[in-house]
Amino acid sequence: MTALGEVGTITEILPACGVKMLQTVTAATVVSADTFTLDLTDYGCTNIHGILGFAETTAGSVVVTEAPTTAVSSGTLTVTVGGSAVTAVRTYIIWAY
């Protein structure tokens, strides 16, 4: 397991719908059990409603869903990558408030 800190690109998809939807895309070096953080307070949030994870098992072609494990403390979301040990780009959609 590697603690990656804040990684990849974070995009605010729905900024004003009562719940914010954030998309984070990791580098291709992430594997199962790695952890990364996201400061939710940067987006005016302190908690999450849900998260949906995907891994590109073949870059830009084959995508599978994954179930990450999460924890929120003081507005910081920690995501532990789930799924296979395949090194891949991971994309997460996060619903935060």
| From 1-5, 43-47, 89-93, the region with the lowest mean pLDDT | 1-5
What distance separates the 2 farthest-apart alpha carbons in the chain? Answer: 37
Residue type, 58: T
The per-residue pLDDT for range 21-57, each reduced to its tens digit, is 999 999 888 899 999 999 999 999 999 999 999 999 8
Give the percent of the chain with pLDDT over 90: 55
Separation CA 61–CA 73 (nearest Å): 35
Q: Residue 58 pLDDT > 60, yes or no?
A: yes
Q: What is the CATH number of domain 9-96?
A: 2.60.40
**pLDDT value of position 84:** 79
Pick from 95, 90, 78: nearest CA to 21: 95
Question: Domain extents for the chain?
Answer: 9-96
Phi/psi for 43 (5° steps) reads -115, 15
**pLDDT value of position 23:** 92
Residue type, 42: D
Alpha carbon of residue 67 to chain centroid: 10
